[in-house]
A and B are shown apart, each in its own frame.
Chain A
Amino acid sequence: MVLRQVCKWFEILAVFAVVVFVVMLFANSPTAPTPVPAAAVAAAGGIDGGDLFGARCAGCHGGDGSGGIGPRLAGRMVERFPDPAAQITTVTEGRRGMPAFGGRLSAEEIAAIVEYTRTILGT
């Protein structure tokens, strides 16, 4: 009897969870890139590619670039893309399972992420 009651409560919880799931699919928006104040950009000399990588790329490529769903990036980008422009194009336009970031990040932000993957992540 108790077990059946517990079952019932679990099923009510499941219905609630499904509703929340559906709502979140439509209501949850991807995190917009944090605008960097002009003064901070001037002081730092540019956009922080590491921060952007953490927010936008780490989910698939790993926080340290060691890979996950996406391939390993750490230590490989310079060899893989001798010309950084080709890597920028790949990030901008997407490739196979990787979405295009051209519509979500500015050209400067993509350049900063690419620079980060070719320098900090390569060390």
Chain B
Amino acid sequence: MSNEVQVTEPRGAPNVVFLGAVLAGALVAVLAGVYGQAHAPASETTIKLFFSTTLHFKAWATTLSLALVLVQLATALWMFGKLPGGEAPDWVGPVHRMSGTLALLVALPVAYHCLWSLGFNPDPGGGRRFWHSILGCVFFGAFGTKVLVVRSKRMPGWALPVVGGLLFTTMVLLWLTSSLWFFRQFGIKV
């Protein structure tokens, strides 16, 4: 007689864990928005490195972040077998991780200026700055959720592509509402 005891995981547990990660990310997004709204904007220049103004630095940094997120997309597609050319080599995974980390590192000083110096900027008519503010909060919330999804072994299989896709989409929209607008207004200069 077999002494094996079959242990079954409760159904829906991965979805509950995923919900927890989503809520954690939502909390990050809301906190960013609350800070931006409650904190009196400093209206000062912050980092600009070798660029002529802080705004030029931000426009180019956001562009670099977008480029890194595109690398993330390409490596993710490769790892999931969605690109022709067979299985992804070993180095693709670390490149995917590193490009994501670098995208965050580059985005942080941009977000700092936005939050600390400019604040959350609601336009009564819902203009560019309003949507950029919303997207900025969503981006960091989605990033937090993705970190949790990657680290947990109990997430549903569809969680990573969904959250990764949200992160990618948000980054593209952020670039469109900031850097693209800036380059069209002031030209592609440093």
Contacts and interface: CB of A to CB of B under 8 A. Distances in A.
A96 B129 CA distance: 11
Contacts of B112: 21, 24-25
Closest 8 CB pairs of A and B: A30-B42, A3-B94, A59-B45, A10-B101, A7-B97, A7-B94, A14-B101, A99-B41
Interface residues of B, number: 32
Interface string A34-47: 00000000000000
B119 interface: yes
Given A7-B98, A10-B102, A14-B101, A99 B43 contact: yes
Interface in B15-61: 35, 39-45, 53-55
Nearest to A66: B186
A99 B40 contact: yes
B138 interface: no
Contacts of B42: 28-31
Interface in B87-135: 91, 94-95, 97-98, 101-102, 104-105, 108, 111-112, 115-119, 121, 123, 129
B102 A59 contact: no
Contacts of A99: 40-41, 43, 119
Given A3-B95, A25-B39, A69 B118 contact: yes
With most chain B CB atoms within 10 A of its CB, the pick from A10, A62, A101 is A10
A93 interface: no
A120 interface: no
A118 B112 CA distance: 32
Given A18-B108, A21-B111, A25-B115, A59 B94 contact: no
A63 B48 CA distance: 13
Contacts of A55: 44
A59 B123 contact: no
A30 B44 contact: yes
Contact of A30 (B43, B105, B121, B123): B43
A30 to B, nearest CB: 4
A86 interface: no
